[in-house]
Amino acid sequence: MSLRIVVTVKYVPDATGDRHFADDLTVDRDDVDGLLSELDEYAVEQALQISENSDDDVEITVLTVGPEDAKDALRKALSMGADKAIHVEDDDIHGTDAIGTSLVLAKAIEKAGYDLVISGMASTDGTMGVVPALLAERLGVPQVTLLSEVSVEDGTVKGRRDGDAASENLEASLPAVVSVTDQSGEARYPSFKGIMAAKKKPVESWDLSDLDLEAEEVGLEGAYTTVDGAAERPARTAGTIVKDEGEGGKQLAEFLAGQKFI
Amino acid sequence: MAEVLVYVDHVDGAVRKPTLELLTLARRIGEPVAVALGNGAGDTAAALAEHGAVKVLTHEAAEYADYLVVPKVDALQAAHEAVSPAAVLVPSSAEGKEIAARLALRIGSGIITDAVDLEAGDEGPVATQSVFAASFTTKSRVSKGTPVITVKPNSAAVEAAPAAGAVEALSVTFSAQATGTKVTGRTPRESTGRPELTEAAIVVSGGRGVNGAENFAIIEALADSLGAAVGASRAAVDAGWYPHTNQVGQTGKSVSPQLYIANGISGAIQHRAGMQTSKTIVAINKDAEAPIFDLVDYGVVGDLFDVVPALTEEIKTRKG
C-alpha cells in the first residue's frame, strides 16, 4: 500500500512585520519579509507523523501557490522532512481570492495525485480558514477539518474536532481533505541534516497552462470579491495609565463605574 | 423587498445571540428569511420572529448531527434555490465559515468572512472587515453571484423588530457527499455558567503574568463579579493553565466586547489580533513598557495579585 499526502502551504508576510496593502489593495508581499505560515507547519508536522506511524509507503508532497519567494516556504517544509514540492507560479495568479485559490490548488492536487490532503487551519494573513472546506467541495471528497488530533489507518482518517459547543470525533474514508489546528502538536525544527537534504529534493514548477486554467479564472479579474477600500485603523487615543500604590484596584473600579460597566 | 437568508445557529432550539445580531444586519438589506436546521429547529421561530424574521424555513433530520458540515450546506443550498435571496448571512463560527464557503462555491458566488459591519450599497451589501491583526479596516463586496457573508459576533446590536416569522418546512435532498464525514462521538463542553467568550459583553483575560493554573481563580472571580467571560493568552494556554477553548488571539477566538480587561498580558501581536477591536480596553501589568498599554483606555501598572483582588472587592462593594 502506498499513501500519497499533499500538504498545502502558504508563504505569508511576517505577522510581526509592518503589514499593509499594495496600491491595488492586494496584500503587499514585497515590503515585508515572508515565511512559511506558522499554522501550516502544523500540517507538515502531522503529515510527517502519519508517515512515521505508518507501515505504508508514504510520500509527502508540499504544494504552494505564490510568487517566486514562496519557494522559501517549500524549502522549509522540505527541510522538516517532506519528500518533494510543487510550486504553482504564474503572474496571472496575483490578486486571486479564496474561491480562485481553491481552484488552482484543487487542479494541482488532482494533477499531483493524492490520497490525503492536509492543510493548516487558516493562513496567518488572510485568516479566512475556508480553503480546506473549499478543496473538499471541489475534489468531491470528505472534509475532516479543524482537527486537534489526527490518525490514518486502513484507508480511514480519524480525528478530534474541538468546537465551541462540543468536542467531536470524526471519521471518513480516504481520499479526504484534513485541516489541523495549532493544538495538533508542536511542529519540529528542521535539523541540519534535513536542511542539507532539502537542497537535493525535487521542486516542480507549474503554471496555469500546466493546470489547464485560463488567466480569467484567477487573479483580480477572476475574483468573486472586490475590495473597495482599506484604511489603517486609527491609533487608539492614549489612555490613562496609573501606577498602583495601593489604590490601583479602586482607581480602576472608579474608571469602570464612570464608563457604566459597574 | 428583497429577501435575505439568515443561517440560524441554535442549540436544540435555543437561538444563539450572534444569529439575532445577524437579523439586525439583514434588515438593513432586505427582509430576513431564517433557515433553522436539526433538532429543535421549529422551536427557534418565536425568537426569530421577535427579531425580524418574516419567514422561518425549518428542516429536522438526524444527518445534521451525525455528519459534518455538508448536510447543512445541502439545506442552505435548497433554501437559496427556494428563495433567490439578495444575500446569505451566516454567523462567523468555525463551522459557519465552512458552510458558507461550500455554499458560495456551489452557487457560483463570492464569499466574505468575518465581517464586523454590513451596509446596503448600490452594488450589493458592503462588508467591513478588520485585517492584519485589526491594524487595518477594509470595505469589500461580493462581485459575482449572491453575496455570501459571514459576520462576527458582537458586530451589531440585538434589536426587537417583530415580524410574522411564518414557519415553513424546507424540502432538502441530501447530496452524495452529505454522509462523507461521520461524527462518531460528541462530548459537550462542560458549562462554566459564564457567558460564551465570543458573545460576552465583558471579557476578563489572563496571561503569562497569572503564573499558574491555580491563580486563574482570581481572574475568574473578577469575571464573575462583572458577569464576564474568561479568556486567556496563548502563553497561558500553551503553559496548560487554561483550556484552549478560552484562548483569545490569532489562533484562538477573536473577541470584540464592550469591555476587555487584560491581566498579566504583554500584548503581543498574536494576542492583539484577537481583541484589538474591543470597545474599551483595560490592562493590569507589572511592566510599564508592555505593548498592551499602547491600546488601553485605562491601565494600571502594578502587581495583578494586588490589583485584581482589590478591584473585585471594590466591584462587589459597589454592586452591593
Sheet holding A57-65, edge to edge: A203-206, A84-88, A57-65, A2-8, A116-120, A176-180, A143-153, A156-162, A166-173, B182-188
Q: In angstroms, rounded to a whole number, what is the distance separating the alpha carbons of residues A145 and A130?
A: 10
Which of A39, A123, A131, A137 to mutate to test binding with chain B, by most B CBs within 10 Å of its CB? A137
Quickly state the pLDDT bin for B250 (edges 50, 70, 90).
confident
Q: Closest CB to A236: pick one of B244, B258, B295.
A: B295
Task: Round the average pLDDT of chain A to a whole number and report it.
Answer: 94
Residues of B with Cβ-Cβ distance to A227 under 8 angstroms:
138-140
> Residue A79 in 3-state DSSP?
helix
- Which residues in chain B (169-188) have CB-CB distances under 8 A to chain A? 177, 180-188
Q: Closest CB to A253: pick one of B113, B126, B318.
A: B318
> Residue B148 in 3-state DSSP?
strand
Q: In angstroms, rounded to a whole number, what is the distance separating the alpha carbons of residues B292 and B294?
A: 5
What is the mean pLDDT of the segment spanning A216-239?
89
Interchain contact B84–A (C-beta under 8 A)? no
Looking at the predicted structure, is the pLDDT value of residue B301 above 80? yes
Q: Which residue of A has its CA nearest to B69?
A: A143
Task: Round the average pLDDT of chain B to a whole number and report it.
Answer: 96
According to DSSP, residue A31 is labeled S
Looking at the predicted structure, is the pLDDT value of residue A155 above 80? yes
Q: In angstroms, rounded to a whole number, what is the distance separating the alpha carbons of residues A70 and A61?
A: 15
Range with lowest mean pLDDT among A217-231, B91-105, B216-230: A217-231
Interchain contact B190–A (C-beta under 8 A)? no
Asked whether residue A234 is domain-assigned, the answer is no
A121 closest CA partner among A40, A4, A194, A32 = A40
Asked whether residue A118 is domain-assigned, the answer is yes
Supply the pLDDT for residue A164.
79
Interchain contact A124–B (C-beta under 8 A)? yes
Q: In angstroms, rounded to a whole number, what is the distance separating the alpha carbons of residues B136 and A232?
A: 4
What is the mean pLDDT of the segment spanning B209-230?
98
Asked whether residue A252 is domain-assigned, the answer is no
Supply the pLDDT for residue A29.
82
What is the mean pLDDT of the segment spanning A212-219?
95
CATH of the domain at A56: 3.40.50.620
Asked if A223 and A95 count as a contact pair (C-beta separation under 8 A), the reply is yes
Beta strands at B182-188 and B87-91: parallel, antiparallel or unpaired:
unpaired
Q: Which residue of B has its CA nearest to A103?
A: B105
CA A236, A242, A244, A247 dihedral sign is negative
Supply the pLDDT for residue B26.
98
Q: Tell me the CA distances in angstroms from B222 to A45, A171, B266, B310, one per residue in order.
A: 39, 41, 19, 10
Q: Which residue of A has its CA nearest to B283?
A: A241
Secondary structure of chain A: what % helix, strand, coil (to 5)?
30, 30, 35
Interchain pair B189, A226: CB under 8 A:
no
Q: In angstroms, rounded to a whole number, what is the distance separating the alpha carbons of residues B48 and A165?
A: 21
Q: Closest CB to A253: pick one of B68, B301, B315.
A: B315
Looking at the predicted structure, is the pLDDT value of residue A232 above 80? yes
Residue A84: in which H helix or E strand, if any? Answer: strand A84-88
Q: In this predicted model, what pLDDT tens digit does every residue of B173-215 receive, in sequence order?
A: 999 999 999 999 999 988 889 999 999 999 999 999 999 999 9
Residues of B with Cβ-Cβ distance to A164 under 8 angstroms:
93-94, 189, 196, 198, 245
Q: Which residue of B has its CA nearest to A220?
A: B143
The CA radius of gyration of chain B, in Å to the nearest whole number, is 21
What is the mean pLDDT of the segment spanning B3-10?
98
Q: In this predicted model, what pLDDT tens digit does every residue of A37-58 receive, in sequence order?
A: 999 999 999 999 999 999 989 9
Looking at the predicted structure, is the pLDDT value of residue B140 above 90? yes
What is the mean pLDDT of the segment spanning B291-295?
94
Range with lowest mean pLDDT among B65-69, B130-134, B191-195, B249-253: B130-134
Our count of domains for chain A comes to 1
> Residue B115 in 3-state DSSP?
strand
Contacts of residue B58, Cβ cutoff 8 Å, sequence gap at least 6: B35, B36, B37, B41, B42, B44, B45, B167, B168, B169, B170
Q: In angstroms, rounded to a whole number, what is the distance separating the alpha carbons of residues B204 and B248?
A: 11
Q: In this predicted model, what pLDDT tens digit does every residue of A181-202 receive, in sequence order?
A: 999 999 999 999 999 999 999 9
List of domains in chain B: 3-179 (3.40.50.620), 202-319 (3.40.50.1220)
Cell numbers 503554471 correspond to A207
Please give the ipTM for the structure prediction.
0.94
Q: What is the 3-state secondary structure (H, E, C) of B191-226?
A: CCCCCCCCCCCEEEEECHHHCCHHHHHHHHHHHHHH
Asked if B124 and B87 count as a contact pair (C-beta separation under 8 A), the reply is yes
Burial (Cβ within 10 Å: 0-12, 13-18, ≥19) of residue B313: middle
Quickly state the pLDDT bin for A249 (edges 50, 70, 90).
very high
Looking at the predicted structure, is the pLDDT value of residue A14 above 90? no
Taking residue A199's Cβ as centre, other Cβ atoms within 10 Å add up to 9
Cell numbers representing residue A27 in the block: 496584500
> Residue B117 in 3-state DSSP?
strand
Residues of B with Cβ-Cβ distance to A142 under 8 angstroms:
177, 180-181
Residue-number span of the structural domain to which A33 is assigned: 2-222
Range with lowest mean pLDDT among A135-139, B156-160, B269-273: B269-273
Q: Closest CB to A19: pick one of B132, B270, B309.
A: B132
Supply the pLDDT for residue A31.
80
Asked if B285 and B229 count as a contact pair (C-beta separation under 8 A), the reply is no
What is the mean pLDDT of the segment spanning A135-149?
98
Interchain contact B52–A (C-beta under 8 A)? no
Asked whether residue A239 is domain-assigned, the answer is no
> Residue B79 in 3-state DSSP?
helix
Range from A99-113, A224-238, B265-279 that averages highest in pLDDT: A99-113
- The residue among B252 and B220 whose pLDDT is bigger is B220
The CA radius of gyration of chain A, in Å to the nearest whole number, is 22
> Residue B289 in 3-state DSSP?
coil
Q: Which residue of A has its CA nearest to B121?
A: A228
Cell numbers 420572529 correspond to B49
Looking at the predicted structure, is the pLDDT value of residue B171 above 90? yes
Cell numbers representing residue A184 in the block: 495538533
Chain A: give the shortest CA distance to residue B112, in Å: 7
Asked if B141 and B121 count as a contact pair (C-beta separation under 8 A), the reply is yes
B65 closest CA partner among B178, B199, B153, B190 = B178
- Phi/psi of residue B239, nearest 5 degrees: -75, -5
Looking at the predicted structure, is the pLDDT value of residue B110 above 90? yes
> Residue B37 in 3-state DSSP?
strand
CA B59, B63, B64, B65 dihedral sign is positive
Interchain contact B114–A (C-beta under 8 A)? yes
Q: In angstroms, rounded to a whole number, what is the distance separating the alpha carbons of residues A8 and A105?
A: 8
Q: In angstroms, rounded to a whole number, what is the distance separating the alpha carbons of residues A244 and B306?
A: 9
Supply the pLDDT for residue A233.
86
Supply the pLDDT for residue A25.
86
B23 closest CA partner among B60, B56, B52, B64 = B52
According to DSSP, residue B158 is labeled -
- Phi/psi of residue B193, nearest 5 degrees: 80, -5
Range with lowest mean pLDDT among B145-154, B243-252, B296-305: B243-252
> Residue B56 in 3-state DSSP?
strand
Looking at the predicted structure, is the pLDDT value of residue A1 above 80? no
Residues of A with Cβ-Cβ distance to B297 under 8 angstroms:
236, 239-240, 255
Asked whether residue A190 is domain-assigned, the answer is yes
Asked whether residue A86 is domain-assigned, the answer is yes
Interchain pair B145, A224: CB under 8 A:
yes
Contacts of residue B163, Cβ cutoff 8 Å, sequence gap at least 6: B31, B32, B49, B52, B53, B54
Q: In this predicted model, what pLDDT tens digit does every residue of A79-109 receive, in sequence order?
A: 999 999 999 999 999 999 999 999 999 999 9
Cell numbers 470528505 correspond to A142
Looking at the predicted structure, is the pLDDT value of residue B17 above 90? yes
Share of residues in chain B with pLDDT > 70 (%): 100
User: How many residues would you count in chain A?
Assistant: 262
Size of interface A-B (CB pairs under 8 A): 261
A219 closest CA partner among A105, A98, A97 = A97
